[in-house]
Amino acid sequence: ENRPIPEPGPNEVLLRMHSVGICGSDVHYWQHGRIGDFVVKDPMVLGHEASGTVVKVGSGVTHLKSGDRVAIEPGVPREVDEFCKTGRYNLSPTIFFCATPPDDGNLCRYYKHSASYCYKLPDNVTFEEGALIEPLSVGIHACKRAGVTLGSKVFVSGSGPIGLVNVIVAKMMGAAAVVVTDLSASRLQKAKEVGADFTIQVKNETPKEVASKVESVLGCMPEITVECTGVQACIQAGIYATRSGGTLVLVGLGPEMVTVPIVNAAVREVDIRGIFRYCNTWPVAIALLASKRINVKPLVTHRFPLEKALEAFETTKRGEGVKVMLKCDPTDQSP
């Protein structure tokens, strides 16, 4: 609250923040102070799912002006390296990323960011939808990596926010049938709301039994599995479930080391792919939202003003609802 308002550099913009979603990684940093090799050593501002209004532009910025509503892509390359040259800038080892130590995030009143990674929102796309482009981008990137196409049969493991955006995107990309698994009946109901064709509530089944249930409800083994939990048993089920010659994309992050039936995957030519965040997704997401081809509004289940950030984080920590959204602009009275 007491930090000075930053001054934008020549290629930056100063934003008055509006909507910021809370991600599981934000909660993890808050609770544990690290994710893998990324360790919080100094005070850090959280938040990386965000939208806001431009209030000042740097001298070199021409595509944005004061008053523009924008969605913020949190990952900004610091140098034009080999990954940037091939269009995979998300893999750049020196990338700036909001709320990944030591880089501050944007859960604040005012925030400056690279203008090239701020995208103007059409009038019919809300600030909340703009903030949801970040998780939506994970779904776009994962489904692209998976090769979802017309007629695909897809298994999405996990019905949290990331599982749900993968359901939305897979259906948008032409999947004929999507089945979702989760422990929670309420989250599976939300999956149905956003377009899942089938849901399976997992209880005490073995990974092979889960795979068998997936095949049973689909009527065949899925060509594509998108694993969004990071849980060892779910990764195992994903391998067993995927059709020979198919693709398993690992989206959820769990323990560094897991035991998986790798020979089963190898001899059936099941391709295992990872994803790291996303790249080149904001223009696609904005076009889909503006055309109303997808609807992400049902994902937001809780809203809090910035003053109640702690309550919002506690709500997310307890696993209540789906997406918790913080509203940072006290002057804005929109719903």
Domains in the chain: boundaries: 12-120+296-327, 141-274
- Output the pLDDT for position 36: 85
Provide CATH code, domain 141-274.
3.40.50.720
Element (H, E) at 56: strand 49-57
Average pLDDT by stretches of 10, the chain with 335 residues: 86 98 96 92 96 98 98 98 97 97 96 98 98 98 98 98 98 98 96 98 98 98 98 98 98 94 98 98 98 96 96 95 91 61
Burial 114-132 (b: 16+ CB within 10 A, else e): bbebbbebeeebbbbbbbb
> pTM value?
0.96
- Output the pLDDT for position 321: 87
CATH topology of 12-120+296-327 equal to that of 141-274?
no
- Output the pLDDT for position 318: 94
- Number of Cβ within 10 Å of residue 262's Cβ equals 11
- Output the pLDDT for position 147: 98
- Output the pLDDT for position 334: 56
Domain 12-120+296-327 is found in CATH 3.30.420.40? no
- Output the pLDDT for position 2: 67
- Output the pLDDT for position 331: 74
